[in-house]
Amino acid sequence: MSDVVLEAVGLEKRFTRRRLFAADTVVRAVNGVDLAVRRGETYAIVGESGCGKSTMARLLLTLMRPSGGTVLYEGRDTAGMSDRELRALRRDLQVIFQDPFSSLNPQMSVGALIEEPLRVHGIGTAAERRATAAAMLARVGLRPEHADRYPHEFSGGQRQRIGIARALVTGPKVVIGDEPVSALDVSIQAQVINILAALKAEMGLTLVLIAHDLAVIRHMADRVAVMYLGEIVEEAPADDLFARPAHPYTAALMAAIPIPETGARAPAATLEGEPPNPVAPPPGCRFHPRCPHARDNCRTDHPALRELGDRRVACHYAEELTLPGIAAGTQRRAPAVERRFALLDARTQDNDRGERP
Amino acid sequence: MTAVDPVALEPGLDAPDLPPRRSRAWAKLRRNPAAIAGGGIVLFFAVVALLAPVLPVPGPAEADWSAVRAAPSLAHPFGTDDLGRDVLARMVWGAQASLLAGVVSVAIALALGVPLGMLAGYRRGWTDAVISRFTEALLAAPFLILAIAFAAFLGPSLTNAMIAIGLSAMPLFVRLARGQTMAVMTEDYVESARAIGVGHLATVGRYVLPNIVPPLLVQATLTIATAIIAEASLSFLGLGQQPPAPSWGSMLNVAKNYLEVAPWMALWPGIAIFLVVLGFNLLGDGLRDALDPRDL
């Protein structure tokens, strides 16, 4: 499998809280995840807040040591790497953070922020680094003279551009976006998504996108993994997933996409209740307390993630269930949802022409 | 690439070109009248202290037995003390000891306390436990008692008094630096430093330290005041400036016995300490604002 660039094998992360007069509580934030990201694709990980997406991002970035399992980068096991080797890896494996306001050091100028990765990895002379940073600024739509300014002088969208420039300046192979646009306005989201898409094509990046916004994911992703309580419940090519979800949780997520239309009603089949307490996950299928299709064995038998065509799904009844997707024309709700996608597309195209919406 | 530019320039970014940071900080400082006043006060006393040998004043230990506790006059503009020494002369010479005691001891406290505090806040775990317990043990003793103990241990001299005060003030800075470091460590930008592969030392130097300087600066200017007073107390016990050499603190200590008959003995050193402390505080506030890039 030479086309797999980033791979997780049985990845696990437990957070233990020790208490003096009670049993330790253990949260399994990521619980035995296997996934393989192929070179050049956009792989999205989606799920509700608290499902372990962000922990997953940090594990994949090797910013956090797993409790079990391992991350392979280009076939090399990162578990045995020293701190020095891991640091060297960061030239190829980069991250775009969610919050553009807290992810840039307020004490460093924009130029220093963007040059820093080059300096850390000993790339080029000081003058070359300055030139590279200036070029990078231009590629994310800022001016080279902005290098002397400080992050607080920029808006959220501009800061995220700076964050992208900082992440991409070393020419990484894999970039992990941890909710890269969720902190931004919808119109700014489209701009930032465009920059990411353009730079991805230009630099041949592999993109791992952590997100909760299905509209963004559908717009960008080639393959999608759906996480629930620290486990992958479904993984499929994006088009298939949106057309025919195989796991009831995936279907429920799609039903919950808000419809930007006056008088639109919240869809009937949205999820009830909160995700269960991850300290004490339910037995059997972890989704069964909220699943409209749950049967007896769902309450006792934990379904394994199994192959089903070119997708993977963790549901006992994946073959029998016919769940509503949101591909155009296939379902009653689809037209309205399509309008939201169309809106995003329209904004994207406006921005392509250099106009502001 | 296609014909359209997908990465459109955002308009509205054409703010006037700003000068680089260092000169910007300097310009900001100069525009702040309070900081200029504070700097002026500090500068004035520093110059007086440095010029003590050439200023036209009597020696600090020259006694005029015909004018003991004399009120201010033309001969003695600030009056004389209980041994007939010129108060103005002692003020001028005492400025050296007092300013040194304030600045040097705080410098010692900063130099020892900030690295220890940042180490504790950065490493956490047992490193933090050891440093914190040690700090708390020091903090459990009253500041002055601790300074007296150190000074007594080191032996009586102005230098040892400064070291003793510095050591006693150190736990304050350990604790402040530790807390601030912990707060900064939760910021995404520290994680971003790790994510691009910045080493530990560089992370502390470029990400943690610059972001914890403002509260440290304020604490340092306040502690200078405490240190000047502490030097006075040590002098009173014979552990600081050795008589007959003057310091403002030791002058105050003697003067308190004669408050009713010779109030000028206390007035001038009191005013001087007040002004120096005010000057350092104003300067510290101004520096803090000037060094903050978020504040234009």
> Which CATH number covers residue A86?
3.40.50.300
Element (H, E) at A43: strand A42-46
Element (H, E) at B24: helix B21-30
- The length of chain A in residues reads 357
Within 8 A of B211 by CB-CB distance, chain A residues are 105-107
Q: How far is A102 from chain B (nearest CA, A)?
A: 5
Structure tokens at A147: 């290098």
The pLDDT value given to residue B67: 76
Average pLDDT of the residues in A289-310: 88
Distances in Å between the alpha carbon of B169 and those of A194, A282, A333, B128, B164?
55, 54, 69, 19, 9
Range of weakest confidence among A187-191, A337-341, B187-191: A337-341
Q: What is the mean pLDDT of chain A?
A: 84
Residue among A247, A234, A215, A223 at smallest CA distance from A323: A247
Structure tokens at A198: 């353009």
Domain-embedded: residue A128: no
| DSSP state, residue A303 | P
So what's the ipTM on this one? 0.80
Average pLDDT of the residues in B277-287: 86
Which of B1, B4, B10 is closest, CB to CB, to A353?
B4
CA distance A340 to B90: 82
Domain-embedded: residue A145: no
Label residue A269 by pLDDT band (50, 70, 90): low
CA distance B19 to A109: 12
Domain-embedded: residue A109: no
CB B42 within 8 A of CB B276: yes
Label residue A350 by pLDDT band (50, 70, 90): low
Distances in Å between the alpha carbon of A2 and those of A5, A237, A348, B32?
8, 19, 34, 63
Among B2, B7, B211, most A C-beta atoms within 10 A, so best to mutate, is B7
Within 8 A of A86 by CB-CB distance, chain B residues are 197
CA distance A175 to B126: 35
The pLDDT value given to residue B133: 96
Structure tokens at B55: 């200023």
The pLDDT value given to residue A337: 56
Provide the angle, in degrees to the nearest 10, between the axes of the packed helices B264-291 and B209-236.
170
Label residue A188 by pLDDT band (50, 70, 90): confident
Domains and CATH numbers, chain B: 33-50+79-291 (1.10.3720.10)
Average pLDDT of the residues in B138-152: 92
Average pLDDT of the residues in B236-247: 83
The pLDDT value given to residue B177: 96
Domain-embedded: residue A119: no
Domain-embedded: residue A140: no
Structure tokens at A288: 């069964």
Q: Going edge to edge, which strands form the sheet with A4-17? A: A25-38, A4-17, A68-73, A76-77
Within 8 A of B15 by CB-CB distance, chain A residues are 149, 153
Asked whether the beta carbons of residue A102 and residue B189 sit closer than 8 angstroms, the reply is yes
Asked whether the beta carbons of residue A97 and residue B192 sit closer than 8 angstroms, the reply is yes
Average pLDDT of the residues in B111-116: 96
CA distance B265 to B82: 9
Q: List all residues 6 or more positions away from B95 whose beta carbon is below 8 Å from its beta carbon.
A: B45, B48, B49, B52, B248, B272
Highest mean pLDDT among A313-322, B23-32, B175-184: B175-184
Within 8 A of A199 by CB-CB distance, chain B residues are 7
Strand partners, A12: A31, A68
Amino acid type, B25: A
Residue among B247, B264, B193 at smallest CA distance from B45: B247
pLDDT in tens, B29-74: 888 899 899 999 999 999 998 988 888 777 777 777 777 777 788 7
Examine the pLDDT at A11 and tell me if it is beyond 70: yes
Examine the pLDDT at B22 and tell me if it is beyond 50: yes
Whether omega before A282 lies within 30 degrees of 0, making that bond cis, reads no
Asked whether the beta carbons of residue A149 and residue B191 sit closer than 8 angstroms, the reply is no
Average pLDDT of the residues in B244-262: 85
Structure tokens at B75: 């001969």
Range of the domain at A301: 1-92+172-357
pLDDT in tens, A98-117: 888 889 999 899 999 999 99
Range of weakest confidence among A286-290, A328-332, B181-185, B232-236: A328-332
Distances in Å between the alpha carbon of B201 and those of A110, A173, B182, B213?
21, 27, 16, 17
Q: How far is A294 from chain B (nearest CA, A)?
A: 40
The pLDDT value given to residue A51: 83
Distances in Å between the alpha carbon of A227 and those of A218, A267, A270, A282, B262?
16, 22, 17, 16, 82
Q: How many CB pairs under 8 A join A and B?
A: 119
The pLDDT value given to residue A236: 93
Examine the pLDDT at B14 and tell me if it is beyond 50: no
What percent of chain B clears pLDDT 90, i.e. is strictly above it? 40
Chain B contact residues (CB < 8 Å to A) = 1, 4-11, 13, 15, 17-18, 20-21, 187-189, 191-199, 202, 206-207, 210-211, 293-294
pTM of the complete model: 0.81
Examine the pLDDT at B150 and tell me if it is beyond 60: yes
Within 8 A of A149 by CB-CB distance, chain B residues are 15, 18
CB A228 within 8 A of CB A60: no
Domain-embedded: residue A144: no
The pLDDT value given to residue A50: 77
What is the domain count for chain A? 1
Tokens 């102005």, residue? B158
